[in-house]
Chain A
Amino acid sequence: MERIEGYAPIRDYAVIGDGRTCALVALDGGIDWFPVPDIDSPAVFARILDGRKGGAFELQPEEPFEVERRYQDGSNVLETTFRTASGAVRVTDALVLTDTSSLAPMRELVRRLEGVSGAVPMRWRVEPRFDFARGRTRTGTRSGRFFASWATDALSVNVWDAGDVQIDDGTVSGRFELRAGAEALIDVAVTHREPAVIPTRRNAERRLERTVRFWPEWSRHAAYEGPWRGPVVRSALVLKLLCFAPSGAIVAAPTASLPEWIGGGRNWDYRYSWVRDASWTLEALLRLGYRDEAEAYFWWFMHATRLTQPRLQILYRTDGSTRTVEQELAGLRGYRGSAPVRIGNGAVDQVQLDVYGSMLDAVCRYARETGRVDGDTGKEIGKIADYVAEHWRDRDSGIWEVRSIETHFTQSKALCWVALDRACSLAADGVIPDHRDRWRREADEIREFIDENGWDAERRSYVRAPDMPELDASLLTLNLLRYDEPGGARPNGVIEAVKRELADGPLVYRYRGEDGVAGREGAFLTCSFWLVDALARAHRIDEACELMDELVALANDVGLYAEEMDPETREFLGNFPQGLTHLALVNAAVSIEDAKAAR
């Protein structure tokens, strides 16, 4: 793997996490992204956003090496094997789960090194830079350990059998030789607003073993037995990492400001819970049988939205608060010079009417599968449906949260129809108050509006908006959400139009028109999986399987996807790993199996 000015290709990262935060591990052993203590906190390692001063944890052989890696089976524990002329070393990386019965660090990154063969010279270096390198990091030693602190954050670096520790200019490093059969351990223990807990080797190893045991036990319950079980389970494991355990929120991705085009300015912070993405994640988790996570999200969502109901904000912080002020970090250069680096998200104030359809569809599935929606919650959901009936005629910014002027996006209108349709179903089941007459009447009006303004008979497809007569891949979601009868002329027309106008091989662009933001972007991987899903639902199973195989082959070496991909170079673009891509993969795979079963 070659770094370009200190930056690893996005494709070369793997993710580890503990349900509170995540870290990105590069193929060369560098940990270049680590927000602490939580997934939406400032990062202490942010070399992915500034190759010179972002801070990182490097660990690799001191001589030329080849590397291969994998996740342990059904796990989010990563194993990287370095092979050199002198031998081989295996590194096991994990953000370990806390053992609440004992005194453990608040967050703990454990790297275990095992000598596999020969004797390999190794080097490691930890360069903590709190608050995206804005904090004045203070370093020193306490209890024989390296300590770094800033404001109310601190971390200790705890090293066993990994050489003599050198402290120099705010970094700690070491060199050592690892022989076959020998083991070393490096542990980064993080604290926030409380005294640090300094781990012992025995307890750190015990927590690592506990973590190693947990993940396969969790993932073996994935209810999917089709030909893509490996990618589906990997996707479920990614989605689990995006579930913020302390609250139940589900974030869109664990990173911020990875660019949608190298050198471009489309760099956004995805460490928030988008109602749309999270609702679809809930659906994917339910389809895989993970009710606990779905239930946690549902109750978090009902609590988080209480202040704004019946209006839904499009995104929330993981703690349910609504403050996501967007700011630019001028001190960071951005991934390979892709500036500005943004944290926070200014799209929070947008109107996006499609979220109501995604949300009510998820509630409908949740209520059917769990039967756990109480009367008060049902009333709140009923009010949300009333709000949709009242507001579907409004202009909005649409699913892609464009920053140009608001308009009547066809997909938004159709998802308002979905919202009212699902509300009718919920009312028929007695889950929510019965306002079906009004909801059905408004739903019919929506359909008339779309038929008159959103359908292009010549193209045999829906269009992006009445004043934007172009195609939009999000119109595939109309097929997925059964806006039209699956397999009918209209769903097939949209599929053909998307293939004709937006596809580039297996990859699909979101749209080709303008969106109020300067610069290019790659093909949007979620849209490719939507196309698979739409093909399956249209009973075009062979085409769906063929495209699915092509897309599965595009994942990186450990089965992960970013948000976008450059169709020419196949380079990953955008935040990584992207929940929307992985949940679309899960839904596509399950839809194919459903279609096969119905054949």
Chain B
Amino acid sequence: MTIWGALAGGLVGTVVLTSGLRIAQELGWTRMDIPLLLGTAFTENRSRANVVGYVLHFVNGLLFALAYYAVFAAVGHAGWLFGLGLGFVHALFAGGALVTVLLPAVHPRMGTPWSDAEETPLLEPPGFLLRNYGDQTAFGTLLAHLAYGAIVGGFAAHLAGWT
């Protein structure tokens, strides 16, 4: 029941996060495109990459919701405010280590400081705090993850009966 609550929150939260980042692109805040970044790790075809990327991003959203649930269960407390705090940590992790360091390390088409770009077409790396994709990227990412965390926390608390 509580896991389903967290998963439902993860699903809704990922929709909000993805839509929020897309709106940030349209508003001219950022060039970050998470589905494209994820999908091009598996295929060079842009259309296929977008489809694969969206699927992966939703799977990731559910997995992170489970991680949030583990923290809620360990602490014995859930709520939108607690989720908001976890969302802040999540944003720091995503912007600081996950996308900035880990993704370039495993992404076969993304540049690193050691790339010479001669063999494979390379995607522009995100840079520290994702600044390569626009100065407002970190801000947009933070807002989107705060929303995600609050939604997961709220759903988990409501469906689990925790307060």
Residues of A whose CB lies within 8 Å of any CB of B are 100-104, 142-145, 147, 149, 151-152, 154, 156, 158, 191-201, 203
Contact = CB atoms under 8 A, between A and B. Distances in A.
Determine which residue in A100, A142, A152 has the highest number of CB atoms from chain B within 10 A of its CB, and name it: A152
A91 B28 CA distance: 36
A197 B123 contact: yes
Contacts of B122: 143, 197-198, 200
Contact of A101 (B26, B44, B118): B44
Given A149-B134, A151-B28, A152-B25, A196 B33 contact: no
Question: Chain B's interface: helix, strand, loop or mixed, by majority?
Answer: loop
A147 B133 CA distance: 12
Interface of B: 25-26, 28-33, 36-37, 40, 44-47, 49, 109, 111, 115-127, 132-134
B44 A142 contact: no
Contact of B32 (A195, A197, A199, A203): A195
Contact of A193 (B33, B37, B115, B127): B33
Given A100-B45, A192-B31, 6 more contacts: A142-B127, A191-B124, A193-B31, A197-B124, A198-B122, A203-B121
Contacts of B37: 195
Nearest to A203: B121
Which 5 interchain pairs have the tightest Cβ spacing? Answer: A143-B111, A196-B124, A103-B44, A194-B33, A198-B122
B30 A200 contact: no
A144 B116 contact: yes
Contacts of B119: 200
B133 A195 contact: yes
A143 B121 contact: no
With a 10 A CB-CB cut-off, give which of B25, B46, B118 has the most chain A CB atoms.
Answer: B46
A144 B46 CA distance: 24
Contacts, number: 93
Contacts of B32: 195
Contacts of B132: 142, 147, 149, 195
Contacts of A201: 118
Q: Which of A104, A143, A151, A200 has the most CB of B within 10 A?
A: A143
A201 B119 CA distance: 9
7 contacts: A142-B124, A144-B117, A152-B31, A194-B33, A194-B36, A200-B117, A201-B118
A169 to B, nearest CB: 20
B121 A195 contact: no
B25 A144 contact: no
A14 B137 CA distance: 38
Nearest to B25: A193
Contacts of A156: 124
B121 A151 contact: no
A195 B118 contact: no
B102 to A, nearest CB: 16
Given A142-B125, A198-B124, A152 B111 contact: no
Residue among B33, B115, B116, B134 with max Cβ neighbours from chain A (10 Å): B134
B31 A194 contact: yes
A248 B33 CA distance: 26
Given A152-B29, A152-B31, A100 B126 contact: no
B115, B119, B120, B133 — most chain A CB neighbours (10 Å): B133
Nearest to A193: B25
Given A152-B29, A195-B133, A144 B45 contact: no
Contact of B44 (A102, A158, A193): A102
Contacts of A144: 115-117
Given A142-B125, A193-B25, A193-B33, A198 B134 contact: no
A147 B29 CA distance: 18
Contact of B123 (A102, A151, A192, A195): A195
A144 to B, nearest CB: 6
Contacts of B30: 152
Given A149-B134, A152-B29, A197 B121 contact: yes
Contacts of A194: 25, 31, 33, 36
B121 A199 contact: yes
A144 B32 CA distance: 21
Nearest to A153: B31
Contacts of A149: 132, 134
Contacts of B126: 195
